[in-house]
Structure 1
């Protein structure tokens, strides 16, 4: 028997790139990869075909290559003491070897050629580069994610980690769109279906069931050696794995005591146990099962939710035990153990909020988990079910809120507090009508004194209505359109006079530094006050004036500030534990998708159309690297070019008049040349003036990127240029204003950006759609802060893990000694 190592079987020179690309295109793993990218792969080919019995690699060998079988059959065998061997055959078009690009681990088994074999060897390093260029194909080139997905599947929970890795190299990764039939009733079954994400309808002879992420079907028919008992129809875009029948039977043969004919748990009875679902019909529950995911957490001390962090899930415990810890006002953290059937996060289905307690697993556990967005899709798909939900009045109210959002609100943003000014403001403004009322009474008195007759009542009412109703209505509308708002992400002061003026001052909650409540004697008696919200901005503060019960808003903002800071300062122990587990090879890390479905949740409100699709019409354009570039609104261009355009028209008209008028012919020749020269010179000067203003408008721009905001004022040619750049991290407040009726009508205005830097405030002037500009700045600020926090945590985590890893190795070597 001959042992063949990679350096012995490889040709001295790689194959011809063009011919190689044609060969590699035939392999499913490279479907969709361009020939140019295939030519850049580092590939080797044996000098001669491998003879039967030759060993390609041995179990435990660490090889930097993965092998593509061009012709022939290779058998991969794994042997372990006191266990049946694992065997599988790798045939033409398939991949042989580990596809974990970032894990330098040995091969799972010994590979031997059964027949004469031709193969290509592709370096793992070049595959890693290809994976970086095609993240959508990651699961083809790197099975690390597939391993984590299989480890988190409840049906596969009895398998050992090495067995999970074994089948991860075997399964086919598939995707199907809605209405695709995966399986017909009574057809032979050749693969086990493992759903990763999506929704599938299983139609039996008498019943219909729905399954989603984490479900496995086809195992009972395979074990009974029978055809399919149901028809499987894809209802939404679905990702799934196919495990060949023979490999499934080989794996479960190593666990003869486990009952593989039964599901780990029944989802539908667990859903029925949740409070808000108790009034749903059996059909409703079955449909709901297609919107929740089944997950398995293989090791203990997995933190599901953390008190103070936003939790978008409802969890139902199916197997195992977990511990709940609640933080009380005294700071104590009493704990309670929960078992199968317990659930928490029920309100998260209706509205996203911070978790009130921390939940951590105590041993291996199985869960049913429903995401807030998937539940919204469920209600949108089946609106008749909403009326049957068992909701409290508060829950019903919150459910109505999530159906719509304000035009400025983000999808994951929830309004915590919204209040108009105190009624004393309306009363004070209505006193402006007092002079008009006195004027009318005076007219009535003069009329009585002059005629000694009382005017008709209806006439007085009509005269009064002519000015009192419009003015009073305007005052009321103005009062009703002003708001003080607190959300889970920011505080907002909104001033709006319809068709006249509109402004919105916004500051992220994590930028707030101080909160002060100011009251006078009268405001204390009438229970209103002034809440002063200070950031690090160099100019002014945000003031919630005439705010009813300001202590309530003060408390809400303080709680949100504490929640955000707690989230930011958290060391993310769960993530560190998993990373340490991976580094020290202590079990596999579960990889669980965020949601059960791949569909986008339904929009809660038809927003005002974004101007972004019409950037070129509004003087905007999209730059590279997700930059947005705003120029001033075209009204600003008209304002500066109209004088030059008028001068150009006058000079052009004068030139045309001189060229066609007989008066020019009667002038002396020198006068003719002088008149025409002056007209031409004036026309050229007017053209230059117009061009200068046009270029001046075009050169001035406002830029928002993922890291900075920038304002550029640049004169044409080589004259002055002023460029002001501010990192997103220095921005404190952002306010937009539509200053007048024309700005309101044409949707342009100013955006003031308050900073903590020396430059204080910069203004984007005459920008189109100023509300959208403000939205983009705030959105990118939040993404930037989130990325900074993630990088900071990763840096800290890496440092701590390196220390722990070194400690672990030293301890292990000491114990061996």
Structure 2
């Protein structure tokens, strides 16, 4: 049950809301109005706030601790993780859409949650209408996220915003084929009524209409395949052109330098524009979005949260755990239980599944394998076929010539002469084949816990090795070009490091490669945070130890003075 907020908590809640969208743009007085409407919920480990399919009746904000969103998988009879939320994250957004909760929500360990029920929401919206706009943006994004299956997300990685281009842009793209269809139908009818060759007229007329309809269908599908997305870890633009192109350009939140919006005159009239994100690696543009200022505010909130580090409530909670551990006090059992397991579970990689045939061929040619914690990637087997194609054709041609001579198809040269010629030319072609194979095999890409490495080596030639630490990576993007690349699932992963690009060229399943690089980056950052926390713990522990020793010495001195006075 929610309780009233105590006076001493108001300042801490104010700090949390000041960094959380959609409250971060409010004045101090307005945030105090919001706090007046909040309820307060304290949770033990794995307590439910609400369960899946319950009526949506509250919007919640994580105040301290962490909250998991889960869905029930009836086939495996277990809960599946959707997202892990931290301080300042808003959930229960189905309430804004008048729907049942599509996920369950429960605490990971001890947690505290701020509650806005429907009655207080309505009153708050009347007083502060901008909050309703912000929450509705989050709710629509959450709904679209649940409809789509973004397999590249890390387990537990929450999506704050996902949106397509403004519908007006699709209508503008549809104008030309739509006009052609409107004018084409009466023209075709007229031609059919006056044509001497009806069959040819029917073919031309129906073919033209079918082409226009296909164009319209292609524009609609293309519009629905492009997404602008903001998560807790990254900002990205995903673009797919049907049968031609597939790309996802993204940047970690930590690599952002500046955020701005850009609108045209038409965009200002109809309420859409671009969100321009400047990073160390260049610009990422989230194009033609509705409410670009709100979207920019969502991203700024996460960027500010990253730069600010843990909230005051989180810092105090961590400090309490450090002090307890150092001075030998019993730890909070709820906080201690399964502490490592939860974090390890969230660090597991997202599963991006290729087809069975693609997986078989990838394993056959060892396009990806792990050894000693390092992942090695090679160029796709289709590239190998391209490289050995010419020598293979030469060998087949020599074999065909030999068979033809033995079969008597020609008698210009003796059988022994042909066999000797084929033998020597076959040696040359075989050497060519082996050279091309080794040239393919000696080029590989390496992903370790600390770095990415691009190795290019020529058979009997020099080896060139380029490497970059994971901590210096500013962005990772991938492209699948052409119909062959889309069907066989290969493309190029581009890793931006300073002013230089490292490229993993023509690798199998580039989306998974990109995701594994981001996973290693996240793991490295997590380990660094743990080391920093341990260092801080030792520093505070030393301080407390010295304080206790001085205090004990002082107490001993005072006791001795009392005995002497007696």
Match of 1:476 in 2: 220
- Aligned residue in 1 for 2:374: 627
Q: Describe how 1:224-623 pairs up with structure 2 within 5 A.
A: 273=1, 307=16, 329-330=27-28, 356-358=62-64, 372=68, 376=72, 392=95, 396-399=100-103, 405-433=149-177, 434-435=179-180, 437-438=182-183, 465-537=209-281, 540-567=282-309, 572-586=315-329, 590=333, 592-594=336-338, 608=353, 616-617=363-364, 619-623=366-370
- Mapped partners of 1:748, 1:459: distance in 2: 38
Number of residues of Structure 1 aligned to a counterpart in Structure 2: 466
Shift of 1:736: 1.7
Preserved CA contact (<8 Å) 2:495 2:503: yes
CA contact (8 A) 1:510 1:564 kept: yes
Deviation at 1:542, TM superposition (A): 0.8
Structure 1 pair 809/395, CA: closer, same or farther in 2 (3 Å)? farther
CA contact (8 A) 1:711 1:725 kept: yes
Residue 695 and residue 548 in structure 1: after superposition, are their counterparts in 2 closer, same or farther (change >3 A)? same
Distance 1:394 1:596 in 2: 37
Q: Quick one: distance in 1 between partners of 2:292 and 2:458?
A: 49
SS at match of 1:505: strand
Could you say which residue in structure 2 is the equivalent of 1:108?
Answer: none
Following superposition, the deviation at residue 732 of structure 1 comes to: 1.9
The aligned counterpart of 1:695 is 438
Counterpart contact for 2:452–2:469, Cα < 8 Å: yes
- Whole-angstrom distance in 2 between the partners of 1:379 and 1:656: 59
Q: Which residue of 2 aligns with 1:66?
A: none
User: Conserved in 1, the CA contact under 8 Å of 2:493 and 2:505?
Assistant: yes
**Cα root mean square deviation, aligned:** 4.7
Change (3 A) 1:580 1:753: same
Change (3 A) 1:465 1:375: closer
Which residues of 2 match residues 727-742 of structure 1 at below 5 A? 727-742=469-484
Identify, as 1 or 2, the structure richer in helix. Answer: 2
What is the CA-CA distance between 1:688 and the residue it aligns to?
A: 0.7
- Give how far 1:795 is off: 2.2
Contact 2:71 2:102 in 1 (8 A): no
Q: CA 1:772 to 1:427, structure 2 compared with 1: closer, same or farther past 3 Å?
A: same
**In structure 2, what is the Cα distance between the partners aligned to 1:309 and 1:380?**
41
Would you say the 8 A contact 1:418–1:483 is kept in 2?
yes
* Match status 1:712 vs 2:452: no
Q: Where in structure 1 are there 5+ consecutive unaligned residues?
A: 1-272, 276-302, 311-325, 360-369, 384-388, 452-457
Assess if the C-alpha contact under 8 Å between 1:374 and 1:596 holds in 2.
Answer: no
Question: Which of 1 and 2 has greater Rg?
Answer: 1
Report the 3-state secondary structure (helix = DSSP H, G, I; strand = E; otherwise coil) of the residue aligned with 1:541. Answer: strand
- CA shift for structure 1 position 398: 4.7
The answer to whether the 8 A contact 2:480-2:490 is kept is yes
SS in 2 for 1:411: coil
Larger RCO (alpha carbons 8 Å, 6+ apart): 2
- Structure 2 residue 551 is the aligned partner of structure 1 residue 811: yes
Distance 2:25 2:338 in 1: 26
Deviation at 1:690, TM superposition (A): 0.3
